[in-house]
Chains A and B, each alone.
Chain A
Amino acid sequence: SQQGEEDPQALSIQEGENATMNCSYKTSINNLQWYRQNSGRGLVHLILIRSNEREKHSGRLRVTLDTSKKSSSLLITASRAADTASYFCATDIRSGSRLTFGEGTQLTVNP
């Protein structure tokens, strides 16, 4: 089964609203990363948060990590139509040298 699982699978909001996506994982990690994918394109890295960090910000993005609950959340504030994409979390587990991706959240921001 997947190491990382996103919730919800799909999210539809209006421009200007905030969007929150969640990711849960199973084993201890070195770090957790969030990526964005526009339809039919490659993935683009958004944020990396290490296991000893609890929160990181980048522009309109805010990521939290709770290692006791093995979960992370990605918040996009003041969403724009251009934020419409799929968002994936990826975990770097302690015993590996590779990223394992979840199945993603499809975000639609309506103008």
Chain B
Amino acid sequence: DGGITQSPKYLFRKEGQNVTLSCEQNLNHDAMYWYRQDPGQGLRLIYYSQIVNDFQKGDIAEGYSVSREKKESFPLTVTSAQKNPTAFYLCASTQRASGGTGELFFGEGSRLTVL
């Protein structure tokens, strides 16, 4: 079945370590997004990519990095420079179309805890 797969579902990190969250989609979507969600709050955009080999910073990009070497993959690295990385991370994708951003398809999320 088509969809978005995020891994791992749960991740524990020691302070000072970099970690990479995986996001893979088989929907043939051009655009992919990473959002961060803190308890009881909405989603904040970290990075997004409209096309392979190109990506843009969102509202809270500091301390994060991404790559988009393949259409189906958009991994997110949480670096040691991110001061408060404990959060729920959500990856999403959509097909590019004229007239605005369409429906986003989300993965099931990755919960990162810093020990």
Contacts and interface: CB of A to CB of B under 8 A. Distances in A.
Interface string B53-73: 000001000000000000000
B105 A97 contact: no
Interface in B67-115: 88, 90, 92, 96, 99-109, 111
A92 B42 contact: no
B17 interface: no
Contacts of A33: 103-104
B42 A98 contact: no
B103 A45 contact: yes
B48 A98 contact: yes
Contacts of A48: 102-103
Interface residues of A, number: 26
B42 A102 contact: yes
Contacts of A2: 42
A78 interface: no
B106 A98 contact: no
Given A2-B42, A98-B48, A45 B104 contact: yes
A106 B45 CA distance: 21
Contacts of B43: 43, 88, 101
B101 A42 contact: no
Contacts of B103: 33, 45, 48
